[in-house]
Amino acid sequence: MSKLTRSVWAEVNLQDIAFNTQQIRRLIGDSQLMAVVKANAYGHGALEVAHTVLANGASWLAVAIPEEGVRLRRAGIAAPILVLGAVGPEEVEVCVAKDLAVTLYEPQIARILANTARKLQKAAKVHIKVDTGMSRLGIPDGAAVEFIRSVARLPGIEVQGVFTHFADAENPNQEYLHWQWQRFERVIATLKRDGVHIPCCHAANTAATLFFPESHLDMVRVGLGLYGMYPNGRSSIPLKPALSLKTRIAALKRVPAGTPVSYGCTYVTWKDTTLAVLPIGYADGLSRKLSNIGHVLIAGQPCPIVGKVTMDHTIVDVDHLPVSVGDEVVLIGSSGQTKITADDWARWMDTINYEVTCLISSRVERVYT
């Protein structure tokens, strides 16, 4: 472990990410693997993760915004990169210049891409997104074929792929998934019938990759699974959670029964109690929703969070343990035979595991093992 500049850190095990990538690579057979590294690789560190997944079977990377792709290019990443999110007119030129593939669904952006390609004398690479039922980005499936034909005719544009995104692939009831899949299949079939060649068709996210192999097509887009987390707690292959979040006890205080704790006095001690102050709060990604609900691990023992989580500090009850200032505290990860997972946080926060790791802020140092 490198020397820390602050006593709050996230340990990211790149060997676990390599293992997860290899597991998914074996599952998908001849399909390509697009590794989704948006949002700083779901909080794990985009550059470090990108190097790891590319060395272990991924052939594409996906980001959400052009800036994320530019950072990877500046760091020397040469692999194909798709910008999954909306690209505005002012962002087109940097995408073409940095060889970032654009998610395309708007005629206006298509024209700007063609003009920019001519200006820069470079191909503008695009993946056309078809909305089959997510109701977010994408050309409606009923208008998709004509739009794809028109884009393919534009000079300077290279249509690398056509894709869709499933809205409910995590659901064990796959009725909506199948409905979306059939709509996308019709688009692909029509393109083939009309002789429109699309090099890469893709649809599967992590959940569909794990549970709906028919959707693997030419490529799958996997984010969550790379980091060792499962969609909706459902698993089909073994994966290893790659991130642990840790801190150290900053202060200890003995307080009498009836002592209010933290902002709003939402917790009052019911007996003489020893409290530990931790130097981590919601500015680091420890959500206020964990106030009076979650717990941490010290020496393998659960210690409940008491009172409101604050911006920079959190208080836990350690009255049942012999502890000292500087003792390690595990917020996500294992301590002894006990562990806390991102799924535990998600349950306490009434959210999803994706959000938990994405919330871990940039002021939390990442340590790679």
Inform me whether the pLDDT recorded for 201 exceeds 90. Answer: yes
At 65-94, the pLDDT tens digits run 999 999 999 999 999 999 999 999 999 999
Query: What distances in angstroms separate CA 83 from CA 62, 102, 103, 128, 133, one per listed residue?
Result: 6, 5, 6, 11, 20
Inform me whether the pLDDT recorded for 1 exceeds 80. Answer: no
Cα–Cα distance measured from residue 210 to residue 228, given in angstroms and rounded to the nearest whole number:
13
Cα–Cα distance measured from residue 277 to residue 8, given in angstroms and rounded to the nearest whole number:
13
Buried b (16+ CB within 10 A) or exposed e, 144-175: bbebbeebbebebbebbbbbbbbbbbbbeebe
* Residue of 122, 263, 308, 368 with catalytic role: 263
Q: What pLDDT shows up at residue 216?
A: 98
At 333-344, the pLDDT tens digits run 999 999 999 999
Q: What pLDDT shows up at residue 6?
A: 85
Burial-class residue 280 by CB neighbours within 10 Å (0-12, 13-18, 19+): buried
**pTM of the predicted model as reported, rounded to 2 decimal places:** 0.96
Calculate the average pLDDT of the chain: 97
Q: What pLDDT shows up at residue 10?
A: 98
Q: What pLDDT shows up at residue 5?
A: 74
Contact 216, 28 (CB under 8 A): yes
- Closest Cα partner for 101 from 79, 75, 121? 79
Average pLDDT (50-73) is 98
Q: How confident is the model at residue 3 (pLDDT cuts 50, 70, 90)?
A: low
Average pLDDT (124-146) is 98
* Residue of 38, 125, 246, 308 with catalytic role: 38
Question: Among this protein's residues, is 230 annotated catalytic?
Answer: no
Q: Which residue bears the tokens 């293992």?
A: 19
All structural domains of the chain with their residue ranges: 31-228, 243-368
Contact 131, 141 (CB under 8 A): yes
Contact 124, 113 (CB under 8 A): yes
Angle formed by the axes of helices 141-152 and 107-120, nearest 10°: 20
Q: How confident is the model at residue 2 (pLDDT cuts 50, 70, 90)?
A: low
Q: What is the CATH number of domain 243-368?
A: 2.40.37.10
Average pLDDT (303-319) is 98
Q: What is the CATH number of domain 31-228?
A: 3.20.20.10
Inform me whether the pLDDT recorded for 368 exceeds 80. Answer: yes
Question: Among this protein's residues, is 253 annotated catalytic?
Answer: no
- Closest Cα partner for 223 from 24, 13, 14? 24
- Closest Cα partner for 369 from 240, 211, 234? 240
At 12-43, the pLDDT tens digits run 999 999 999 999 999 999 999 999 999 999 99
Average pLDDT (268-294) is 98
Average pLDDT (186-204) is 97
Q: What pLDDT shows up at residue 235?
A: 85
Inform me whether the pLDDT recorded for 303 exceeds 60. Answer: yes
Contact 153, 194 (CB under 8 A): no
Average pLDDT (302-328) is 98
- Residues present in the chain in total: 369
Q: How confident is the model at residue 196 (pLDDT cuts 50, 70, 90)?
A: very high
